[in-house]
Amino acid sequence: MADPIVEMKDVNKYFGSHHVLKDINLEVVPGEKIVVIGASGSGKSTLIRCVNGLEPFQGGRIVVDGHPLEPGNTSKTSRSLQAIRREVGMVFQQFNLFPHRTVLKNIMLAPMRVRKVGRNQAEETARRLLDRVGIGNQADKFPTQLSGGQQQRVAIARALAMDPRVMLFDEPTSALDPEMIGEVLDVMRELAAEGMTMMVVTHEMGFAREVADRVIYIHEGQIVEQGPPAEVFDNPQSERTKAFLSRVL
């Protein structure tokens, strides 16, 4: 197997006295698609937020593309953290677009500021990415003028503009009206087919079954079960996994 691009080793995370991630060990190889499932409050968001240093953690070690994160170096000034932020794209449930910038500017900003890409080149890339997510004609609009599904596709284009090596998605379709879920999942399917390394938290079990190389079920901050979707969904080993799946499938 290839060397992992994301490695979590004995990661422990507390919010105050609340132990939310317990000895998480997880390796993701380049091109692998991981889907994380579990009940609300089980630690899914916290787990993927740790991967790009959005959450400090108290024990263990995370290495992304050779850049280590440890409990002591998750401050903003850490070089390792800055490198990881450049290489890891993140898409949130609530889009998080800049409301006072056009769609085009939303996509151009980070490459210009962080990667020091020139304006013309940033614009060219932004337009190409908007075409790729199917909304090339919305470049000059402001986020609120778009539907939720279109805003989420902008958010994906914005993350891709940094040319990430890993993409994290935290329930990217949970805030969308049902008729818009498909258009966002389609973009994610294409990205998967192109070989992107992806870690996706989602309740879309159809997507998980189709796209995931590996499904990870977490319960109260622990990885209880993992495996190919056909195994986890059709032949779960743990009683907890069975109980969870019987509620969501």
What is the smallest separation between the CB atom of 71 and ligand ADP, expressed in angstroms?
17
Residues 167, 175: contact at Cβ < 8 Å? Answer: no
What is the smallest separation between the CB atom of 14 and Mg ion, expressed in angstroms?
17
What is the smallest separation between the CB atom of 39 and Mg ion, expressed in angstroms?
10
Q: What is the rounded CA–CA span in Å between residue 220 and residue 27? A: 20
What does the binding site for ligand ADP look like in residue numbers (CB under 6 A)?
15, 20, 38, 40-46
What is the smallest separation between the CB atom of 166 and Mg ion, expressed in angstroms?
18
CB atoms within 10 A of CB 194: 9
Give the one entry of Mg ion, ligand ADP, none that residue 41 binds, where binding means its C-beta sits below a cut-off of 5 to 8 angstroms depending on kind. Answer: ligand ADP
Give the one entry of Mg ion, ligand ADP, none that residue 139 binds, where binding means its C-beta sits below a cut-off of 5 to 8 angstroms depending on kind. Answer: none
Q: What is the rounded CA–CA span in Å between residue 238 and residue 235? A: 9
* 45 near Mg ion, rule: CB under 5 A: yes
Give the one entry of Mg ion, ligand ADP, none that residue 38 binds, where binding means its C-beta sits below a cut-off of 5 to 8 angstroms depending on kind. Answer: ligand ADP
What is the smallest separation between the CB atom of 86 and Mg ion, expressed in angstroms?
24
Give Cα separations from 35 to 55, 130, 161, 233 (angstroms).
20, 25, 23, 12
Nearer CB in complex with ligand ADP: 46/152: 46
> If DSSP codes are grouped into helix, strand and coil, which group holds residue 56?
coil
Give Cα separations from 148 to 16, 92, 198, 201, 228 (angstroms).
34, 12, 22, 18, 31
Give the one entry of Mg ion, ligand ADP, none that residue 46 binds, where binding means its C-beta sits below a cut-off of 5 to 8 angstroms depending on kind. Answer: ligand ADP
Nearer CB in complex with Mg ion: 45/202: 45
Nearer CB in complex with Mg ion: 106/244: 244
Query: How many residues belong to the site for Mg ion (CB under 5 A)?
Result: 1
Cα 164–43–157 angle (5° rounding)?
Answer: 25
Residues 242, 226: contact at Cβ < 8 Å? Answer: no
Q: How far does CA 160 lie from the centroid of its chain?
A: 12
Give the one entry of ligand ADP, Mg ion, none that residue 240 binds, where binding means its C-beta sits below a cut-off of 5 to 8 angstroms depending on kind. Answer: none
Give the one entry of ligand ADP, Mg ion, none that residue 137 binds, where binding means its C-beta sits below a cut-off of 5 to 8 angstroms depending on kind. Answer: none
Which residues are at the interface with Mg ion (CB under 5 A)? 45
